[in-house]
C-alpha cells in the first residue's frame, strides 16, 4: 500500500515513527530485532538486525575435529538437532568417502522425519501464539512434541541436544522396543493433526488474520533463494528430498504439498500437509528398517578416534531438506584432522532476507505473524 | 460456503473435549457420549513427582572406579581433554618429585581431574573417545548451586563413582562396556607365551 493514500485530514501533522521490535521480545522468537518505520500503523520500512546470538560456530568448527562439531550443530537450530546432525554427517561422508550402514541410514531418516513433525507442530503453535490465540494451540502442539522428544531421549540420551547421527550411520542402535513405540506414535499422529486442523484450518479468525497477509510472490521466492515450506507455499515444487534423492527418500513414496497464494495461511497449511506426508514416510520407513549394524565400521572408528580422520584435500557440500529449508554444510579439507573451512547455509537466515518485502504495507500486528510464518530459530540465523 | 462462525465453533468443540479429558468426570461424560477419550493429564508436578527418564538420559560425566576409589580406570592419557569440544576438562597426571609418573594398581592415574560443568554441554564425546571406559555419563540433574567457581567445578573427588553405581543407573550400557573390557583382557590371557 502506498503510504500517501492513507486518508489524513490536512490539519493533522504526520510524521514517520521508528519503532524497535525486539531484540528482547518473545514475539521475535529469540533475540532478533526489527527496526520498523511506521506511518500510523503501516510499515513503510523494515530493517532486520541480526547477530545478537552470534556464537562463532563456523570459526569454532575450524579449530576442532570434524566429529567434535556435531554437538555444536545441535545448537544451531535447537528444535531440529537430529536433522542438523544429519546434514553435517552427509557432508563428512562425501568428503571422506565413508560408507553408510543400511540400518543407520533408515534410523537417521526416521529421526529426521520425526524432527520435521516436532518442528512443524511447534512452529504452528508459535504462529498461533503470535496471532493472539494465547496458549491453547501452542500447548496442544507442545503436548505432542513432548512425546517425540521422549523418543529422542530414549534413543540418544537427550531430548533436544541429541548429538546422535554420525558419519556412517547413527551413534548407537535404538534401544529394545523403540521402533514399536515410534510406530505407535506415528500411527496416532494423524489423529492429533485432525484435531489440530479442526481447531485451526477452518477457523474464521485464523483465516481473517492469515489469508492474503505477507504474500511472497513465486519469482521473489526463487530469486531470494528461499527454500523449504516457505518456498513451496509460494507454489514452487522444490524439495531436496526429491531433487537430491539422498538417504532412503527415493524408496519412499510421498508427495510434495504446494501452496497457491504464498501468504501466511498457505505457509501454515503447507506445513500441516507436510506433516501428513512425513507420517507416510515414517510409516514406510519403520516397516522397512533392516537389521544389522547401525553404523559402518569406518564411521564407528572415526567416532571413537576423531583425530585419525584425515580426509583427502578437497571440498564437499552436503545438504538436506531440513524442516526450515535447505540446510547445507560446506567443508574444505587441507588433509589435517580439522576442517580448513566450515560453512553453513542456514535456511532460517536466508528465508529471513525477504522479510521487508513481505511486511511493507501491512500493519504492525501482521509483521509479528509474518515473522512467525517464516519460521526462524535465532541459533541458526546468527550461528 | 460454510456458515460464518462454524469454524470457530468446531474449534471450540476441540478445546471443550480436551478440557473434559483432563478430568475423571469429563472422561466419564465423553465415554457416555461414545467419544473415546484419552488421558488429557500430561503435566508432571515436578518437585513432587519426577519424570521417569530413559536409561540413556545423560547429564554430566563421572569417573568410574572398580572396587576402591583409588582403583580408577582413568590413566590420565588426556584424550578426553583434547577432544572435549568446549574444552571443559582439565587433567594432570600424578607424578613424583622427579617428574616420573606415579602408578597405582599398575596404572598411571590423574592427580587432578576437573570438569567445569558450567561449560560442559553433555555431548558425551569424552565417553566416545575414552579407550579405557573410564568416563561415563551420569543422570543426576538436580545440581543447582549458588557459586559458579566452587560448586560448578567438579573435582576428582566429586566425579569419582563406583562401577556398581554405573551398573545401577545404566544396566544395559554397563553390560556392553563390561563385554568390551573383557574382550580387551581376554587376548592377553590366551596368547601363548613364547618358549623360554
pLDDT tens sequence across A284-341: 999 988 888 889 888 888 888 888 888 999 999 999 999 998 999 999 999 889 999 9
Give the pLDDT of residue A6: 56
Can you spell out the DSSP letters for B111-123? EEEEEETTT----
The nearest CA of chain A is from the CA of B19 a distance in Å of 11
Half-sphere CA count of A346, side-chain side, radius 13 A: 23
The mean pLDDT of A33-37, rounded to a whole number, is 88
Give the pLDDT of residue A330: 93
User: Does residue B6 sit at the A interface (CB-CB below 8 Å)?
Assistant: yes
- Please report the number of interchain residue pairs, chain A to chain B, with beta-carbon separation below 8 angstroms: 86
Task: Give the three cell numbers for residue B39.
Answer: 488421558
Window 276-335 of A, Cβ < 8 Å to B: 303-307
Give the pLDDT of residue B190: 53
Rg (alpha carbons) of chain A, rounded to whole number:
22
Question: Bigger pLDDT: A8 or B103?
Answer: B103
Window 137-176 of A, Cβ < 8 Å to B: 140, 143, 146, 150, 153-158, 161, 163, 171, 175
Within A211-263, where are the H helices?
A: 218-223, 229-233, 240-243
Residue A2, pLDDT > 60, answer no
Residue B194, pLDDT > 70, answer no
- B88-92 contacts: CB < 8 A, separation 24 or more? B88/B115, B88/B116, B88/B117, B88/B119, B88/B120, B89/B113, B89/B114, B89/B115, B89/B126, B90/B114, B90/B115, B90/B116
Residue B189, pLDDT > 60, answer no
Contact B122 A69 (CB under 8 A): no
Contact A70 B123 (CB under 8 A): yes
Task: Give the three cell numbers for residue A44.
Answer: 513503510
Of A70, A158, A198, the CB nearest to B10: A198
pLDDT tens digits for range B108-163: 888 889 999 888 998 889 998 998 888 999 888 888 888 888 888 888 888 888 88
Can you tell me the distance from the alpha carbon of A155 to that of A151, in angstroms, rounded to the nearest whole number? 6
Give the pLDDT of residue A4: 53
Give the pLDDT of residue B188: 56
Window 178-237 of A, Cβ < 8 Å to B: 195, 198-207
Residues of chain A with Cβ-Cβ distance to B2 below 8 Å are: 202
The mean pLDDT of A270-277, rounded to a whole number, is 92
Can you tell me the distance from the alpha carbon of A318 to that of A164, in angstroms, rounded to the nearest whole number? 17
Contact A158 B58 (CB under 8 A): yes
In which band, very low, low, confident or very high, does the pLDDT at A106 lie, cut at 50, 70 and 90?
Answer: very high
Contact A163 B8 (CB under 8 A): no
Put residue A352 in one of left, alpha, beta given phi > 0 → left and psi -120 to 50 → alpha: alpha
Q: Which residues contact residue A33 at a Cβ distance below 8 angstroms, ignoring those fewer than 6 apart?
A: A20, A21, A22, A23, A48, A49, A50, A52
pLDDT tens digits for range A341-375: 999 999 989 988 898 888 888 888 888 889 888 88
Give the pLDDT of residue B133: 87
Contact B57 A158 (CB under 8 A): yes
DSSP helix/strand/coil, A277: helix
In which band, very low, low, confident or very high, does the pLDDT at B37 lie, cut at 50, 70 and 90?
Answer: confident
Residues of chain A with Cβ-Cβ distance to B10 below 8 Å are: 198-199, 202-203
Residues of chain B with Cβ-Cβ distance to A140 below 8 Å are: 18
Q: Contact at 8 Å (CB) between A370 and A362?
A: yes
Window 125-184 of B, Cβ < 8 Å to A: 125, 128-129, 131, 137, 172
Give the pLDDT of residue A270: 93
The nearest CA of chain B is from the CA of A251 a distance in Å of 31
Terminus-to-terminus CA distance in chain B, angstroms? 98
**A84, A177, A204, A209: best mutation site toward chain B, by most B Cβ within 10 Å?**
A204
Average pLDDT over chain A, rounded to whole?
A: 88
User: Does residue A376 sit at the B interface (CB-CB below 8 Å)?
Assistant: no
Single out the residue of B120, B76, B72 nearest to residue B95, CA to CA. B76
Residue listed under C-alpha cell 479442526: A198
When mean pLDDT is compared across A175-179, A357-361, B4-8, B38-42, the lowest value belongs to: B38-42
Interface confidence: ipTM more than 0.90: no
pLDDT tens digits for range A63-78: 899 999 999 999 888 8
The mean pLDDT of A198-202, rounded to a whole number, is 84
**A157, A158, A178: best mutation site toward chain B, by most B Cβ within 10 Å?**
A157
Give the pLDDT of residue A148: 92
Residue B103, pLDDT > 90, answer no
Give the pLDDT of residue B2: 66
Taking the model in full, what pTM does it have? Answer: 0.87
Window 67-86 of B, Cβ < 8 Å to A: 82-83, 85
Give the pLDDT of residue A382: 86
Contact B137 A157 (CB under 8 A): yes
Give the pLDDT of residue A115: 93
pLDDT tens digits for range A201-249: 888 888 888 888 888 899 999 999 999 999 999 989 999 998 888 888 9
In which band, very low, low, confident or very high, does the pLDDT at B196 lie, cut at 50, 70 and 90?
Answer: low
The mean pLDDT of B151-180, rounded to a whole number, is 87
pLDDT tens digits for range B76-85: 888 888 889 9
Contact A303 B128 (CB under 8 A): yes
Residue A126, pLDDT > 70, answer yes
In which band, very low, low, confident or very high, does the pLDDT at A86 lie, cut at 50, 70 and 90?
Answer: very high
Amino acid at each position: 500500500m502506498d503510504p500517501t493514500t492513507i486518508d489524513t485530514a490536512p490539519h493533522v501533522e504526520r510524521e514517520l515513527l521508528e519503532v524497535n521490535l525486539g531484540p528482547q521480545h518473545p514475539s521475535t522468537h529469540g533475540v532478533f530485532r526489527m527496526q520498523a518505520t511506521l506511518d500510523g500503523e503501516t510499515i513503510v520500512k523494515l530493517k532486520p538486525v541480526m547477530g545478537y546470538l552470534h556464537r562463532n560456530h563456523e570459526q569454532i568448527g575450524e579449530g576442532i575435529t570434524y566429529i567434535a562439531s556435531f554437538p555444536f550443530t545441535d545448537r544451531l537450530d535447537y528444535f531440529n538437532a537430529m536433522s542438523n546432525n544429519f546434514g553435517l554427517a552427509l557432508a563428512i561422508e562425501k568428503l571422506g568417502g565413508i560408507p553408510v550402514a543400511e540400518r543407520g541410514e533408515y534410523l537417521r531418516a526416521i529421526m529426521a522425519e520425526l524432527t520435521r513433525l516436532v518442528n512443524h507442530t511447534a512452529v504452528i503453535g508459535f504462529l498461533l501464539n503470535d496471532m493472539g490465540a494465547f496458549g491453547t494451540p501452542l500447548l496442544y502442539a507442545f503436548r505432542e512434541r513432548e512425546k517425540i522428544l521422549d523418543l529422542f531421549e530414549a534413543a540418544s540420551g537427550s531430548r533436544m541436544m541429541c548429538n546422535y547421527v554420525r558419519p556412517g550411520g547413527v551413534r548407537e542402535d535404538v534401544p529394545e522396543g523403540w521402533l514399536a513405540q515410534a510406530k505407535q506414535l506415528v500411527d496416532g499422529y494423524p489423529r492429533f493433526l485432525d484435531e489440530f486442523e479442526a481447531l485451526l484450518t477452518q477457523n474464521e479468525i485464523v483465516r481473517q488474520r492469515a489469508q492474503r497477509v505477507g504474500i511472497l510472490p513465486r519469482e521473489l521466492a526463487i530469486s531470494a533463494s528461499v527454500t523449504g515450506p516457505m518456498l513451496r507455499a509460494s507454489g514452487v515444487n522444490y524439495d531436496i528430498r526429491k531433487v537430491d534423492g539422498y538417504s532412503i527418500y527415493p524408496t519412499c513414496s510421498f508427495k510434495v504439498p504446494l501452496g497457491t497464494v504464498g501468504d501466511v495461511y498457505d505457509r501454515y497449511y503447507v506445513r500441516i500437509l507436510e506433516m501428513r506426508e512425513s507420517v507416510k514416510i515414517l510409516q514406510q520407513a519403520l516397516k522397512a528398517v533392516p537389521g544389522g549394524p547401525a553404523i559402518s565400521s569406518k564411521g564407528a572408528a572415526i567416532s571413537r578416534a576423531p583425530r585419525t580422520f584425515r580426509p583427502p584435500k578437497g571440498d564437499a557440500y552436503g545438504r538436506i531438506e531440513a524442516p526450515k529449508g535447505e540446510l547445507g554444510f560446506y567443508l574444505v579439507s587441507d588433509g589435517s584432522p580439522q576442517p580448513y573451512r566450515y560453512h553453513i547455509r542456514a535456511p532460517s537466515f536466508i528465508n529471513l532476507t525477504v522479510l521487508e518485502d513481505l511486511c511493507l504495507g501491512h500493519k504492525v500486528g501482521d509483521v509479528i505473524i509474518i515473522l512467525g510464518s517464516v519460521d526462524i530459530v535465532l541459533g541458526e540465523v546468527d550461528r | 460456503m460454510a456458515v460464518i462462525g462454524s469454524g470457530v465453533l468446531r474449534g471450540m468443540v476441540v478445546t471443550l473435549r480436551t478440557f473434559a479429558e483432563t478430568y475423571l468426570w469429563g472422561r466419564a461424560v465423553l465415554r457416555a457420549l461414545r467419544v473415546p477419550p484419552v488421558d488429557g493429564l500430561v503435566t508432571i508436578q515436578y518437585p513432587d513427582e519426577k519424570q521417569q527418564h530413559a536409561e540413556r538420559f545423560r547429564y554430566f560425566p563421572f569417573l568410574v572406579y572398580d572396587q576402591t576409589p583409588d582403583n580408577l580406570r582413568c590413566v590420565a592419557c588426556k584424550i578426553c581433554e583434547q577432544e572435549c569440544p568446549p574444552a571443559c576438562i582439565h587433567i594432570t597426571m600424578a607424578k613424583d618429585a622427579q617428574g616420573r609418573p606415579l602408578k597405582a594398581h599398575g596404572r598411571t592415574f590423574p592427580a587432578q581431574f576437573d570438569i567445569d560443568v558450567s561449560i560442559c554441554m553433555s555431548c558425551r564425546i569424552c565417553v566416545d573417545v575414552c579407550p579405557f571406559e573410564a568416563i561415563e555419563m551420569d543422570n543426576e540433574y538436580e545440581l543447582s548451586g549458588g557459586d559458579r567457581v566452587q560448586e560448578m567445578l567438579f573435582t576428582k573427588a566429586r566425579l569419582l563413582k563406583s562401577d556398581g553405581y554405573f551398573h545401577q543407573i545404566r544396566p544395559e550400557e554397563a553390560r556392553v562396556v563390561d563385554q568390551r573390557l573383557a574382550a580387551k583382557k581376554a587376548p592377553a590371557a590366551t596368547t601363548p607365551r613364547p618358549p623360554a
